[in-house]
Structure 1
Amino acid sequence: MSHDTNPASQGIRAFIAYILPLDTAALLHKKVKRLQGWDESPVRWTPPQNFHLTLRFLGDSSAEQLEKIKEGLRHELEGFHSFISMSGGVQYFPSDNHPRIMTLTLHSGRRMNDLNRVCERVSCQAGYTPEQRLFRPHVTLARSLSRPLSILPWQIPGYRFNVAELALVQSELRPDGARYRIMETFPLR
């Protein structure tokens, strides 16, 4: 299934995200690594440097569209204050009955949803199709490469994240997983 929200343009695959701090991501990754071997199907584990919460997937984008995104985020985030988010439990997508992706939920009251709406508004102003899927703040921990994952009753300690900046990220898909490059960061006040 393609997530490209602008199929007419071919260019740089990109998204807007909150990147988790590497020290906390490394702690989370250690917890996740303990689960390796719990499932016999091939699983691609997300490396800690790739732990992020996607606020708006853009898909293939032109350089002009990405400039509009940058300008829009600079303007819209001028008055947006940083906030604290907490990690929640492990969740499976698309459902517990057919789990293919293991995620960690993040909670911050309505603040993350407010940030998502800003990113949605900026992307629509830059010419992207409005997002139709429900926004569910999460960080992808693992993906099944063949069959559904086995669900385990797994608990993780709560971690606090200071959401103080967003990033516009370029994503390159490779056989061994995605490679990300931060194109620009946008601090929150």
Structure 2
Amino acid sequence: MAKHHYFFAVKLPKEAKDFLYEWIQARKGDFPFARWVHPGDYHITLAFLGFAEKSMLNEVVEKVKPILEKESSFTLTLNSLGIFGPKKAPTIFWADVESSEQLDSIQKSVYRECEKTGFQLDKKPFRPHITLARKWKSEDAFEEGTLLQIREKDGKTFSFNVTEIVLYETHLDRTPKYHEYVSFPLAIPGG
């Protein structure tokens, strides 16, 4: 039986995935990366759990559920492109979002409950981002000047509503490879 890894993430709505995908498609030639992420896999990771026993998954779901039930849906705005890894040959190419107190608060709560359950989590500071591609594959060095702001054709920012946090399960043999294991809907204000 294949072992899957798991992570909590912000689920992007279809319109945000479509917008990002189309925006990138129009500029993809400027960014020679080896592997582009399927738009169905776009998300913002809150806590990466890695491989997990079902008993631990069930426990963390029971701890996170009442916390997320109290949260309302909120808006995020796409900001700009960025990279992780060596500046001349980055390993990760991403889009980020403008700062959001609610996103930071939800991430801290989810992260804390995962740690309490016994998961060994990454200690790096939370940097909300949507991975778009991996592994630079050009002889030329990456040019940081190509890291654009993400805007609509009329120059306006693109915002979207976050209505779900999801515990995803990874299936490396499928495309898209991230599948919803458990979904936590956020309350609709005034709903």
Bin of the TM-score, shorter chain as denominator length: 0.7 to 0.9
Figure out how many residues of one structure are paired with residues of the other and give that number: 178
Distance 1:59 1:117 in 2: 18
Distance 1:23 1:120 in 2: 27
* C-alpha contact (below 8 Å) 1:90/1:103 kept by paired residues: yes
From the superposition, tell whether residues 178 and 145 of structure 1 become closer, same or farther in structure 2 (CA, over 3 Å).
Answer: farther
Could you list the structure 1 runs, at least 4 aligned residues long, displaced by more than 3 angstroms after superposition: 95-98, 145-149
From the superposition, tell whether residues 101 and 57 of structure 1 become closer, same or farther in structure 2 (CA, over 3 Å).
Answer: same
Structural mapping, 1:99-114, within 5 Å: 99-114=90-105
Structure 1 residue 91, shift from structure 2 partner: 0.7
Q: Does 1:25 align with 2:17?
A: yes
Distance 1:97 1:28 in 2: 24
Structure 1 residue 117, shift from structure 2 partner: 0.6
Q: Does 1:93 align with 2:84?
A: yes
**Larger displacement relative to structure 2 (11-20 or 30-39):** 30-39
Q: Does 1:132 align with 2:126?
A: no
Residue 18 of structure 1: SS of its match in structure 2?
A: strand
Opposite residue 57 of structure 2, the aligned amino acid is L
Structure 1 residue 155, shift from structure 2 partner: 3.3
TM-score (norm 2): 0.83
Opposite residue 20 of structure 1, the aligned amino acid is L
* C-alpha contact (below 8 Å) 1:11/1:62 kept by paired residues: no
Distance 1:149 1:170 in 2: 34
In structure 1, runs of 5+ residues without a counterpart are 1-9
Structure 1 residue 24, shift from structure 2 partner: 2.0
From the superposition, tell whether residues 79 and 136 of structure 1 become closer, same or farther in structure 2 (CA, over 3 Å).
Answer: same
Residue 160 of structure 2: SS of its match in structure 1?
A: strand
* C-alpha contact (below 8 Å) 1:17/1:52 kept by paired residues: yes
In structure 2, runs of 5+ residues without a counterpart are 152-156
Distance 1:153 1:54 in 2: 21
- Deviation string, structure 1 residues 133-158 (Cα, Å, up to 9, x no partner): 11000000111165687332433212
Structure 1 residue 36, shift from structure 2 partner: 2.8
Distance 1:77 1:101 in 2: 29
Structural mapping, 1:40-119, within 5 Å: 40=32, 43-94=34-85, 96-119=87-110
Q: Does 1:12 align with 2:4?
A: yes
Structure 1 residue 183, shift from structure 2 partner: 0.9
Residue 47 of structure 2: SS of its match in structure 1?
A: strand
**Larger displacement relative to structure 2 (121-130 or 60-69):** 121-130
Structure 1 residue 95, shift from structure 2 partner: 5.2
| Structure with more helix by fraction | 2
From the superposition, tell whether residues 154 and 108 of structure 1 become closer, same or farther in structure 2 (CA, over 3 Å).
Answer: closer
